[in-house]
């Protein structure tokens, strides 16, 4: 019986504990939920509820005055907030991940999840945030039961196919730009990469989500592009030095050593008999000169 209860804990089959609170640290029913919300007394993860205020909070893509907003300005506003929060929270310890929800439902809008490497770092951050304000609003912080963000995020959103939009009950994590990822998380990983943290106790063998694979592919393509650009630059420099050695500043004459023919094919190799004949001719010429 105990094994059965342990196997269904935090799942839809658990009729006692709330699976949504267990997975994402928030529930649309709040304190009125018919199932239990087991609030942790200690955790490496903190939840800062409704902290991020989008500039298009009322209507997506439109400011409070009804004027359309440039998506680049919306993203810049978010990245400024993200960097500000990261720099402040990093004073208390090593940040494993910092996720901001892009959901619109009341219990998830603007939620900020920060996971530290150690529980005592999270406890120090929670104590320091108590009674503080951000942008004129009090910071509501508490320990969160979330330790595996891959279980908390919406898989369909990662595949750009979530039909519930911002009112989905799983996390729609708002992404930051590649340069900011390297700037913030590179200090921990030697120029490493931003990631959604895995649980320390499970899900280590699971494959990365499609969005994480896309980010990995983007980084690999960037490295390959830099390598190809560096190769072209080195080729251009070698070609210029070759022209300087010719003294003409232009192309080498047709048939010069070490160059291909105009048709682009390499020079034909001589056979062994031709090489021996050429060597004998050189020897005869040398003897005649002597």
The highest-confidence range among 10-24, 31-45, 55-69, 79-93, by mean pLDDT, is 79-93
- Whether 3 is in a domain gets the answer yes
Give the residue carrying structure tokens 């490497």.
117
CA 81/CA 49 separation, integer angstroms: 15
Residue 108 lies in a domain: yes
pLDDT at 11: 55
Residue 14 in this model has a pLDDT that exceeds 80: no
In a domain, 198, yes or no: no
Q: Can you state the percent helix, strand and coil of the chain, rounding each to 5?
A: 45, 10, 45
CA neighbor of 143 nearest in space, from 116, 108, 106: 116
In-domain check, residue 284 = no
Q: Residue 96 pLDDT more than 70?
A: yes
In this structure, the dihedral spanned by the alpha carbons of residues 280, 284, 289 and 290, taken in order and rounded to 10 degrees, is 100
User: Residue 78's domain is classified under what CATH number?
Assistant: 3.30.70.330
Across the chain, which distance is largest between two alpha carbons, in Å? 111
Q: What is the mean pLDDT of residues 130-148?
A: 93
Residue 2 lies in a domain: yes
- Domain contains 138: yes
65 or 100, greater pLDDT: 100
Higher pLDDT, residue 109 or 220: 109
Question: Using CB atoms within 10 A of its CB, is residue 261 exposed (0-12), middle (13-18) or buried (19+)?
Answer: exposed
Q: Which pLDDT band holds residue 261 (cuts at 50, 70, 90)?
A: very low
Does a structural domain hold residue 141? Answer: yes
Give the structural domain span for 45.
1-189
> Phi and psi for 36 in degrees, rounded to 5?
-80, 140
Q: What is the mean pLDDT of the chain?
A: 76
What is the phi/psi pair of residue 187, to 5°? -65, -25
pLDDT band at 143 (very low <50, low <70, confident <90, very high): very high
Q: Of 46-55, 239-248, 266-275, which gets the smallest average pLDDT? A: 239-248
Q: Is the pLDDT of residue 175 over 50?
A: yes
* Residue 259 in this model has a pLDDT that exceeds 80: no
Residue 167 lies in a domain: yes
pLDDT of residue 206 exceeding 50, the answer is no
Number of domains in the chain: 1
Residue 88's pLDDT band, with cuts at 50, 70 and 90, is: very high
Q: What is the rounded distance in angstroms from the CA atom of residue 266 to the CA atom of residue 271?
A: 15
What would the pLDDT profile of 22-57 be if each residue is shown by its tens digit?
888 899 888 889 888 889 999 999 999 999 998 887
Sign of the Cα torsion 184, 188, 189, 193 reads negative
Query: What pLDDT is recorded for position 166?
Result: 85
* pLDDT for position 278: 77
């Amino acid at each position: 019986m105990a094994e059965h209860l342990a196997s269904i804990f935090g799942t839809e089959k658990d009729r006692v504990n709330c699976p949504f609170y267990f997975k994402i640290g928030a529930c649309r029913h709040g304190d009125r939920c018919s199932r239990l919300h087991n609030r942790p007394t200690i955790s490496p993860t903190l939840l800062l509820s409704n902290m991020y205020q989008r500039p298009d909070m009322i209507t997506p893509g439109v400011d409070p005055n009804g004027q359309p907003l440039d998506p680049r300005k919306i993203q810049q506003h978010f990245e400024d907030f993200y960097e500000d929060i990261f720099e402040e929270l990093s004073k208390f310890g090593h940040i494993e991940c910092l996720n901001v929800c892009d959901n619109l439902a009341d219990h998830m809008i603007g939620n900020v999840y920060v996971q530290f490497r150690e529980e005592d770092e999270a406890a120090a951050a929670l104590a320091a945030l108590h009674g503080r304000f951000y942008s004129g609003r009090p910071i509501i912080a508490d320990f969160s039961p979330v330790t595996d963000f891959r279980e908390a995020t919406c898989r369909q959103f990662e595949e750009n196919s979530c039909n519930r939009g911002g009112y989905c009950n799983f996390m729609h994590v708002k992404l930051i730009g590649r340069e900011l990822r390297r700037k913030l998380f590179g200090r921990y990983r030697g120029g490493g990469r931003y990631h959604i943290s895995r649980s320390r106790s499970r899900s280590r063998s699971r494959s990365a989500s499609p969005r994480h694979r896309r980010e990995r592919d983007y980084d690999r393509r960037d490295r390959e592009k830099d390598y190809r650009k560096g190769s072209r630059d080195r080729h251009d420099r070698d070609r210029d030095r070759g022209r300087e050695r010719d003294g003409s500043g232009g192309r080498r004459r047709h048939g010069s050593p070490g160059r291909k023919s105009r048709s682009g094919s390499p020079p034909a190799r001589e056979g062994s008999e031709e090489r021996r004949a050429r060597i004998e001719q050189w020897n005869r010429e040398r003897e005649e000169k002597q």
